[in-house]
Structures are given as structure tokens and as C-alpha cells.
Structure 1
Amino acid sequence: MRISIVPPADLGAAEIARWRALQATARDLGNPFLAPEFTLGVGRFRDDVRVAVVEDGGTIAAFFPYERGPLGIGHPVGFGLTDLQGIVAADGLELDARDLLRACGLAVWDFDHLLARQAPFAPFHTVLRKEPVMELAEGFDAFEAHLRQSAPKTHKTIRYKERKLGRDVGELRYEFASADPADLRRLMDWKSDQYNRTGRTDRFARPWIVSLLEHFHATGFGVLSVLWAGDTPVSTHLGLRSGAVMAGWFPAYDTAFGKYSPGMIGHLRLAEGCIGHGVAEIAMGRGGKEFKEGFKGREIPIAEGRVARRAPGAAVHWARTAPLNRARGAVLDNPALYKRADRVLKTYARMRGRSA
């Protein structure tokens, strides 16, 4: 087995075609976060992105995209922005994870949304969770019937507020794929306001993330959907699409219309729009949104953990991250703690706003 390390931009057409072929060997490998477009896109704006190309018997058997930081600290590509991570390889690949890290020059590889079924990393899981997926292959009527049965109150509320929004503001119109850069700028403004309002870190304060979204939007890998009430945009969503799979990514809405729950309406309209454009499922990402339980049709097992070699960088990384990861995990796994933490962050944001 031979492992070579290359920048994403050095991958040729044959390597990209092989990457896509390996994605097609398993359902969840088709996720956009595991597509070559995602790694190539992040690699345009970060110089620490690399791809390990694993060859076995003269044939490429796997692609392992990663970021390499100081002291050999490694992360999945787009760490903090991605809801699914892993090695792109067919099942049955026999590969020692620590040997892979050695070839990549990594002391440690930290993951938090790893495909749990990938055998090379299974011994290094510390926490197992599940990512909900909306299944749309049977059409919108079947999807809505599932939602009506699994979450009748949620479905009734969405449809009621949808009608009320149309009456109060204007006839609703859903644009599945807007090419207008102004719509993307609006989404980022709304999202930045949400981050600041709720005490979170504003991702769009980082220029490279703004450039990444602009790139994905311009190339069509990012699908920007807009819900309009009359001539007024009320909610938006930027998802990533790879073939028949969409990954939910950045939803946002105008808080002036918050009483109508435009984000919830947008999710239902997104499902309908995806079905009309050949998308069979939407991976929603893990998280504390209770409405996802009603929308989901299946789940993807994912894992948190770290692969480490005997190296100084691995020890430093563990000391810095282990306590924080345990605390964050406890909050994510406990709905009551999650709500309490959310309230604390919002209170902090209000106090910060008053002192500014």
C-alpha cells in the first residue's frame, strides 16, 4: 500500500473521477461534505488543506482529505463547518489509522462528525451520535404524510403560520436556486445577526468563510433557496448539493417575521423544492433543533474522537481540547442543559450589546 500527499489543486481529472466512483460505493459517502468539490473549495482559501491518496495494487483505494495545523494537529477539511467527515473508500479497506497519520505528518486527527461505520477509525470513537436525514425519494406527498404522522403538531403549526404569513404579508413564493449574490449577502447578514444575538461566534467575521460561500454559490455546488412573501424575502437557506444528496448548511431568516416561523416554513418548502429538482435526501446535521425529529426519515451514525500517535503535539492537543469536548458533549446530549446553555449565551449577548 502506497500513500502520497498532495494539495487538492494537484488532483487531476482521473483522480476526481475515481473519487466520485468511490463515493458511489456506499450511500452516505455521497454526502456533499465528502465530495471533491468541498475539499477543492476549502483548499482554494486555506493553505493547510491536503489529500492523502491511498493506492493499493496500483489502484487508488481511498482519498483522505484533512487540514494540518502547527505541531501536526490535524482536523477534517472545513472543521467547524462540516456535518460529515471521513475517508472516501469502499467498505473493507484494511488501513491502520496511525499509519495513515504518520504518512500525513500528523500527530493527531480530531473528528466530531465522522461516519461511524468506517472501520479504520472505530477503535478511536469516544462518543456516538446520529445525524437526522430527510428522505424524499418517494415524493412530497409521502414526505408530508410522514411529517403529519410523526410530528402532527409541528406540521399543523407550519401550515397555519404559512397561511397567515401569506395573508398578512403577501403571497408566498419559493425560489429553489437563486443566483443573485445579493440574496447570499442577505443570508450572511441575517446569520451574523443571529450569531451575535445568541452569543455565538460570527463565522462570517472570517473573510475566508465568506469567500468560500461565494465560491460555492457561484459554482452551483451551493444551492441558495429563498422564501418570499409578496416582494419581501423572509427566509433563506444555503445547502450543498452533490448529485441526489443535499447537506443542510446555513439557514437564516428575517427576525421581523419571527412570529410566523419562516425558517420552519422554509424547511418544508425546501423539501418540496428538492423533490422537484432531483434531490432524494437532505442531511440535516446533528444539533439541538427538536423539529428535526419530525422531519427525519432515517439517521446516519456519527462519532467523535481522536486518533493520536506518540508525539508532543498529540499531548498538547489533548490537554487543550479534552475538557471542553466533554463539557460540550454533555450539553448536546441533554436537552435541558442545551436549552439552559442557549439561554445563558443569549443573556451574555444582550449584556454585551448594552456595554458596546
Structure 2
Amino acid sequence: MKERGVQEGKIPWKLIVGIILSVWLLRTFCAESFRIPANQMENTLLEGDHLWVWKSSYGVRVPQTPVSLPFCYDTIPGTKIRSYISLGIPEMYFFRKFPNRNDIVVFNIPSLEKNIPVDRKKIAVARCIGFPGDTVSFQNGVLRINGNFVSQPSRAIAAYFCADSVKSVIDSLFLKLNITPVSTKIEKKSLYFLSRYDYFRVKNLLASPDLLQEVNLDRNNFRVVLPLFGEATSVNAENASFIARLMSAYEGRDVEVRDGRIYDGETEIVSYRFAQPYYWVLADNREMGTDSRSFGALPHSHLVGKGSRVWLSFDSGKPFYKAFRIDRIFKVL
């Protein structure tokens, strides 16, 4: 009886280790929940949404920081102490798969900070719209891929302005339609950030559509040709700077651009075969989102996974007992 009691009092370490290891494997390679930051995907996703992300959708990414504190991302809350141990593991992605066009992808934001492992860089979410070899252009509010017009998501946030003389009229329509846009003032004009859907609702009630006009910010005017994958990309004066930056930032090449040509030392590089695919991503919040307009092409090594569904959502601007957004629970993207 005594021996049986001792056995019953033992801590089941094997079971505990097995559970911890299973949870680690699931969170690292299969699925994980991420909280959506502000100004990224309104109104498709809202700040405070908790998004379920399938990490295996685009292949298997080997973690660079497998040893870390649970429930901490980059630092221990309230301190500047890192919550992980970097083991110097190189970037590795196995069984790589391409996203589908318009997939909502979660990714680590590319940065030039070499001392931060890729899997510990800040998280963002956006739509994957451009693939290797694509020409992506955005001019005067019109998005085109390979010359073909691409319709914008109806809930995508854009910027619009009106003169102060008609601000009261615009505000009254917002109130009537129960629209609460973010707004600011620039000189003698009011600037509003609202979805294209809400913009057309207001526009249809205006005496003149020119009373509320879309703003074309500099970041919304660009043209980029993404490098090929699986075959060499030719270098020319138009793409030399773009190609050289990708080679230096993500391919480990020490190159420079001189007179529209790429050089490795004194050797000119006339074409280059990239080791991984590069994509172009756009946030649905066209004016304030962090996406390829901020950091350029997104390398495959920075993909975390595919956004699947919202499983939990809280509105931080409301009291706790009113913050729970029941209508968004298990919302499929």
C-alpha cells in the first residue's frame, strides 16, 4: 500500500513534457492565433480581431527562435528583455507552396535590422495580389495587374476630402447613414478615411459627386515588376535598383548599382536567379496599412501563414462588458 501511494503521488513528468511538446509543435508548424493590429485590414478585419492562421498553408518554416517564453512575442511585457533565445538558425522553408491571389496572409514585416530573427519581427496582415513575374501598378486610384483592371475590395479604406464650406453637409450624411469615419483637418479641407462602400453610399446622396473627392496619395502611385522565380531575371536600367535591393536584403549578396547596372565588386551582373519567390501585398486599409508600399516586395521567407477565420473579437474602445463582438465569432475570411 505504501508503494502504491508513492506511485500515485508522483508528478507525471512524461505527460507534462508530452503536452508541452505537442502544443509547441502545433503552434510552430500548424496553426496559431494572432491579434490584428490597427490600421491594417479595416473593414475586412478589425482591430481587436483574433485571427486563426494556418502556418502550413505555404510550406514549413523552420523556427529561428525555438526557445522562447510562452505568450510573449519579442520582449517580456513591461521590459525590454527579449523573450527568446536566438540560436543562429538560418532562414529555411520546406515544401514551399505559393499563396493564391487575394489570400489574406500574415507575415513578418521586412526590416533592415539584422540583429532580429525573421520570426521575431513585427507581424502584419495584408492581401497577396502580386506574384513572381507580375507587373503591378497603382495610378490615380486604379489598380492593375499585368495591365488588367483589378476591382478594389468594397470594404477597403481610402482617403477622401471635402472643402470646409460643405463639411456640415457631409457630416450630416455620415450621421444619417450611421457612418463614423476617422477624420482630420488639412488647411481648409477635411480629410476622411472610410470604405469605398460607405463612400458610394454618401456619394449617391450628394448634389454633386465632386463635393467629396478621393485623395491620391504618393504611396498609391507606383509601378513594379516582380522578379521571376525558377528562372533568371534580366537586369536593366529600370529595375537595377529594385533587384539590387532584394539581392542585398534577402539573398545575402553584397552588390551595388552604378549607372543603372548591378555590380558584385567589379563584375557586372546582367541577370540573376532568385532563391525564393517575392510577392506584392496590399492592406485593405489603403491609406494607413503597412504593406509593400512601405517595404517593397515581400520574400516568401517572411510568410507566417494564411488567415483563416476570426475566432474571437474585442472592441478595446468599449467597456469590457460591451467589448465582446459576438457577430464576428468564427467569421470565415
TM-score, structure 2 length as denominator? 0.22
Structure that is richer in helix per residue: 1
TM-score, structure 1 length as denominator? 0.21
Q: Which has the larger radius of gyration?
A: 2
